[in-house]
Amino acid sequence: MKKMLFIYNPHSGKGLIKENLSDILNIFCQYGYHVDVRVTQRQFDAKAYIEKYGFAYDRIVCSGGDGTINEVITGMMELDEKPILGYIPAGSTNDFSVGMQIPKRMVEAAEIAVKGMPVAVDIGGFNNKKFIYIAAFGLFTDVSYMTPQETKNMLGHSAYVLEGIKKLTSIKSYHLRVSFNGKVIEDDFIYGMVTNAVSVGGFKGITGKSIVLDDGLFEVTLIKTIKNPLELQTVLTNLIGMDIKSDSIVSFKTSRMKIESEEKVPWAIDGEYGGAPKNILIKNYNKAIQITSGIAKKGPKNLEIFDKK
């Protein structure tokens, strides 16, 4: 019998996993899996458990927010043989699931986790950490990990927007030296994101056009220090996809980059606090993990399809 590890965070989103747990487990059993269930107990619990026991499973399915799936993929990256991963989103925003076309309804997502097409996706390295869709610093980035879970549960995605508006009154800049593709940029920046996603903060298109999740490249966006409110409005309009060009925005694609600063810079990695290093090496692990997707059987041109075995 095929063995599955189902690991979930009972506190993600509004705790809807509790209402759907029986139906989810029933689906797994119907598809012939022997299921071991692990409820996360504390931060980094999912990562530690998978590092120790993940090798014993044919498939791992996780349910939670972006922080939960980050822990899971971080643990899986330590395994010599990586099982196929299924994901049941349960957070407030769930940016990663958008690009994978995983339904918001948990029971539907559970079906995708066992019968969806496994596709290969790139994983990011951030010094000794990993990320599945974004590493970011500066304006708004602390909202995801500073907003209380109770507020997220009550207001959902609106909680991020409301908290983000408060940050407009205190914009801090960082002087950075950024090396990539044989080039060097040195300037003052208020925001930066390194992404492999079609959605960030619930906004589609903010990472650019023609996003490819398995091409070995990240989409990078850096925003220079804003001189006045009008310039800030232009930048924000550009980011949400209105195609208004601004000299304050630097964007490029790369598989590897180095960021140096004379002061500590706080980062958010997949929505969680990622530390405040001065020097950072970011690299792309191309097609590192197979994740079941809701994409049609023929598969998109930008994702490699693996046959189920």
Residues 151 and 234 in one domain: yes
Cα–Cα distance between 141 and 75 in angstroms, integer?
24
Residues 41 and 169 in one domain: no
Which helix or strand (DSSP H or E) is residue 36 part of? Answer: strand 33-39
Cα–Cα distance between 200 and 105 in angstroms, integer?
20
Contacts (Cβ under 8 Å, ≥6 apart) of 108: none
Domain around 97? 2-129+287-293
Number of domains into which the chain is organized: 2
CATH of the domain at 272: 2.60.200.40
Tell me if 162 is assigned to some domain. yes
SS (H, E, C) 59-93: EEEEEECHHHHHHHHHHHCCCCCCCEEEEEECCCC
pLDDT in tens, 4-25: 999 999 988 777 898 999 999 9
DSSP secondary structure letter of residue 100:
T
Average pLDDT of the segment spanning 70-82: 96
Residues 39 and 67 in one domain: yes
Contacts (Cβ under 8 Å, ≥6 apart) of 281: 125, 126, 127, 256, 257, 258
Cα–Cα distance between 20 and 110 in angstroms, integer?
10
pLDDT for 239: 62
Average pLDDT of the segment spanning 222-230: 77
pLDDT in tens, 263-280: 999 999 998 889 999 999
CATH of the domain at 64: 3.40.50.10330
Residues 46 and 80 in one domain: yes
Residues 113 and 188 in one domain: no
pLDDT for 145: 45
Helix (H, G, I), strand (E, B) or coil at 43: coil
Residues 249 and 264 in one domain: yes
Residues 24 and 49 in one domain: yes
Computed over every residue of the chain, the mean pLDDT equals 83
Task: Say if residue 244's pLDDT is above 90.
Answer: no
Residues 114 and 214 in one domain: no
pLDDT for 209: 65
Tell me if 303 is assigned to some domain. no
Tell me if 304 is assigned to some domain. no
Residues 94 and 169 in one domain: no
Q: Does the annotation count 272 as an active-site position? A: yes
Tell me if 19 is assigned to some domain. yes
Task: Say if residue 137's pLDDT is above 80.
Answer: yes
Tell me if 70 is assigned to some domain. yes
Residues 146 and 95 in one domain: no
Percent of the chain at pLDDT exceeding 90: 56
Per-residue CA distances from 280 to 180, 187, 223, 237 (Å): 12, 16, 18, 29
Which helix or strand (DSSP H or E) is residue 29 part of? Answer: helix 17-30
Higher pLDDT, 47 or 90: 47
Cα–Cα distance between 176 and 187 in angstroms, integer?
6
Residues 19, 81, 272, 304: which is the catalytic one? 272
pLDDT in tens, 35-52: 999 999 988 999 999 999
pLDDT for 248: 81
Task: Say if residue 79's pLDDT is above 80.
Answer: yes
Which of 88-102, 113-127, 142-156 has the highest mean predicted lDDT (pLDDT)?
Answer: 113-127
Residues 76 and 106 in one domain: yes
Task: Say if residue 133's pLDDT is above 70.
Answer: yes
Task: Say if residue 146's pLDDT is above 50.
Answer: no
Average pLDDT of the segment spanning 204-213: 66
